């Protein structure tokens, strides 16, 4: 039986699930190759609210999918086990964390176009694989794109995925249930998901999220991030589509936002929020100094088409010239093919996330990260059963 004592602590990644869990870097004892893994440890005795229960439900869903799917660009769960009141899941360690972490710490004005092309080509292959197997991801964003120093790219966040078609006699052509997700995740959802109407949505909703993620990675911020949730759907349905901000678009985008704030009918504070993402002069100057390729603009515009019937599939997007052109690096040598590992070589891995727990708190032990792991390894609380879920612990626990 696998327990926490079978692993050696190597570092910490950060808290999650409002402080009820923490992620560590570990390796197996007596492993001659000293392979590192990411260990997510959820303290079940601290999960009491709906948010915590949703997290366990999403983890169960992610584990089930990991058993069914195998793709080099999809983040797998290698092992899950229960130790006392601690629910543990083991995944490959992606030492550069997520694309969102990389952007927030090192690329505030957005990643280079060549890097986005490299990353999103691999993410689209993962999305194509999911759609071919009848799944909708429903949570594609830069925070779920994991990167490693070796140049590996993997799509995570499968806990919110749902089944569209499983090969039965009468497969569904649309889905109508609304994903239980945090309010911030609404930013990446397609308009047809937010609309919650009788038409429902299908796998094309993921393509919209891909387009929005491209904007997030290129611009250094998330479109609609300054909008209140009450205006989010209205803006996505009636407002201008997000775009790549460069010398050809930033003035027009700013003018449209300014015009909309005058006619929106919302309060002064909301008006200020609507345009605040473009009010940082230093960022705007950077936008004016750069120019994205026409093929990149075309891919984003296609993906963000309002009518899902007119959006391309993941397979069709991969045939566009943006993803077929030779990737030449502007970092070191314009005549040398781009390498993500080379780009990351001179950049330290992003620092651990401190947003979910405070420094020095029990759930975010940045000063003594090993202390909590030793504490939970030594604890032997009664196992908390999961009778409120559709699956038993036996269905969740597995090893590689």
Here the CATH number for the domain that contains residue 369 is: 3.30.200.20
Structural domain boundaries, residue 11: 4-95+352-390
pTM (two decimals): 0.82
| Residue 240 predicted with pLDDT over 70 | yes
110-146 pLDDT, tens digit each: 999 999 999 999 999 999 999 999 999 999 999 999 9
Residue 285 lies inside a defined structural domain of this protein: yes
Q: Report d(CA 388, CA 109) in Å as an integer.
A: 45
Mean pLDDT value of segment 22-46: 89
| Pair of tokens at residue 68 | 């069914």
Let me know whether 63 and 212 are in one domain: no
Q: Report d(CA 74, CA 81) in Å as an integer.
A: 21
Let me know whether 228 and 90 are in one domain: no
On average, the pLDDT of the chain sits at 79
| Residue 260 predicted with pLDDT over 60 | no
Q: Are 55 and 42 in contact (CB under 8 A)?
A: yes
Residue 397 lies inside a defined structural domain of this protein: no
Q: Report d(CA 154, CA 145) in Å as an integer.
A: 6
| Pair of tokens at residue 263 | 């006619």
Residue 395 lies inside a defined structural domain of this protein: no
> Chain centroid to CA 201: how far?
20
Let me know whether 82 and 109 are in one domain: no
- Structural domain count of the chain: 2
CA distances from 67 to 63, 70, 71 (A): 7, 8, 11
Number of other CB atoms surrounding residue 339 within 10 Å? 15
Residue 400 lies inside a defined structural domain of this protein: no
Name the residue among 66, 239, 72 with its Cα closest to residue 146.
72
63-92 pLDDT, tens digit each: 888 888 999 999 999 998 888 888 899 999
| Pair of tokens at residue 324 | 């077929």
Q: Report d(CA 10, CA 24) in Å as an integer.
A: 8
Let me know whether 240 and 274 are in one domain: yes
Residue 164 lies inside a defined structural domain of this protein: yes
| Residue the block writes with tokens 């058993």 | 67
Q: Where are the beta strands (DSSP E) in 138-261?
A: 145-147, 153-155, 162-163
For position 181, what pLDDT does the model report? 67
For position 390, what pLDDT does the model report? 36
| Pair of tokens at residue 239 | 């407002």
Q: Which of 41-55, 194-208, 321-335, 369-383 has the lowest mean pLDDT?
A: 369-383
Let me know whether 227 and 339 are in one domain: yes
Mean pLDDT value of segment 16-41: 85
Let me know whether 269 and 123 are in one domain: yes
Q: Are 94 and 148 in contact (CB under 8 A)?
A: yes
| Residue 368 predicted with pLDDT over 60 | no
Q: Residue 388, exposed/middle/buried by CB under 10 A (0-12, 13-18, 19+)?
A: exposed
Q: Which residues contact 279 (CB under 8 A, 6 or more apart)?
A: none
Q: Report d(CA 50, CA 113) in Å as an integer.
A: 40
For position 64, what pLDDT does the model report? 87
Let me know whether 338 and 366 are in one domain: no
Between residues 201 and 398, the one the model is more confident about: 201
HSE value, Cβ hemisphere, 13 Å, CA-based, for 242: 32
Q: Which of 142-156, 243-257, 295-309 has the lowest mean pLDDT?
A: 243-257
| Residue 183 predicted with pLDDT over 80 | no
Let me know whether 118 and 74 are in one domain: no
Query: Which value, to the nearest 10 degrees, does the dihedral of the CA atoms of residues 288, 290, 296, 297 take?
Result: 10
Let me know whether 57 and 116 are in one domain: no
Please say whether the dihedral angle defined by the alpha carbons of residues 325, 331, 336 and 342, taken in this order, is positive or negative: negative
For position 294, what pLDDT does the model report? 95
CATH assignment at residue 262 = 1.10.510.10
Q: Report d(CA 120, CA 217) in Å as an integer.
A: 10
Q: Residue 5, exposed/middle/buried by CB under 10 A (0-12, 13-18, 19+)?
A: exposed
Q: Which of 126-140, 169-183, 203-217, 233-247 has the lowest mean pLDDT?
A: 169-183
Please say whether the dihedral angle defined by the alpha carbons of residues 264, 311, 120 and 38, taken in this order, is positive or negative: positive
Name the residue among 385, 109, 300, 334 with its Cα closest to residue 221.
109
Bridging pattern class, strands 21-28 and 145-147: unpaired
Let me know whether 378 and 327 are in one domain: no
For position 353, what pLDDT does the model report? 58
Name the residue among 143, 384, 217 with its Cα closest to residue 160.
143
Q: Which residues pair with 98 in a beta bridge?
A: 146
Q: What is the CA radius of gyration of the chain?
A: 22
| Pair of tokens at residue 104 | 């927030």
Query: Which value, to the nearest 10 degrees, does the dihedral of the CA atoms of residues 330, 336, 337, 342 take?
Result: -70
Q: Report d(CA 323, CA 117) in Å as an integer.
A: 6
Between residues 56 and 71, the one the model is more confident about: 71
Residue 162 lies inside a defined structural domain of this protein: yes
For position 377, what pLDDT does the model report? 40
């Amino acid at each position: 039986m696998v327990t926490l004592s079978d692993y050696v602590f190597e570092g910490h990644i950060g808290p999650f699930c409002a402080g009820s869990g923490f992620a560590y870097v570990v390796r197996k004892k007596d492993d001659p190759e000293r392979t590192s893994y990411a260990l997510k440890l959820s303290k079940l005795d601290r999960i009491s609210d709906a948010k915590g229960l949703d997290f366990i439900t999403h983890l169960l869903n992610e584990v089930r999918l990991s058993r069914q799917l195998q793709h080099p660009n999809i983040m797998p769960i290698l092992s899950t086990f229960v130790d006392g009141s601690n629910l543990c899941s083991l995944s490959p360690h992606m030492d550069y964390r997520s694309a969102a972490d990389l952007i927030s710490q090192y690329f505030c004005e957005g990643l280079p176009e060549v890097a986005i092309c490299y990353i999103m080509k691999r993410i689209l292959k993962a999305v194509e694989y999911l759609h071919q197997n009848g799944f909708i991801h429903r949570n594609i964003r830069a925070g779920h794109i994991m990167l490693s120093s070796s140049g590996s790219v993997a799509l995570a966040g499968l806990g919110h995925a749902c089944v569209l078609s499983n090969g039965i006699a009468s497969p569904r052509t649309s889905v109508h249930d609304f994903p239980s997700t945090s309010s911030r995740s609404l930013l990446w959802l397609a308009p047809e998901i937010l609309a919650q109407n009788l038409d429902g949505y299908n796998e094309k909703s993921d393509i919209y999220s891909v387009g929005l993620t491209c904007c997030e990675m290129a611009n250094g911020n998330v479109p609609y991030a300054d909008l209140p949730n009450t205006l989010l759907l209205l803006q996505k349905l009636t407002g201008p589509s997000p775009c790549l901000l460069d010398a050809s678009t930033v003035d027009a985008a700013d003018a449209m936002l300014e015009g909309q704030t005058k006619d929106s009918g919302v309060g002064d504070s909301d008006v200020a929020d609507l345009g605040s993402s473009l009010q940082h002069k230093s960022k705007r100057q950077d936008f004016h100094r750069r120019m994205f390729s026409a093929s990149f603009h075309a891919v984003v515009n296609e993906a963000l088409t309002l009518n899902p019937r007119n959006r391309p599939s993941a397979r069709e997007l991969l045939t566009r010239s943006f993803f077929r052109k030779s990737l030449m690096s502007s970092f070191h040598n314009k005549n040398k093919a781009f390498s993500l590992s080379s780009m990351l070589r001179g950049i330290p891995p992003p620092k651990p996330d401190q947003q979910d727990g405070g420094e020095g708190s029990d759930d975010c032990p940045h000063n003594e990260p090993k202390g909590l792991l030793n504490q939970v390894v030594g604890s032997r609380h009664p196992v908390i059963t999961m009778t409120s879920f559709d699956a038993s612990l036996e269905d969740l626990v597995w090893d590689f």
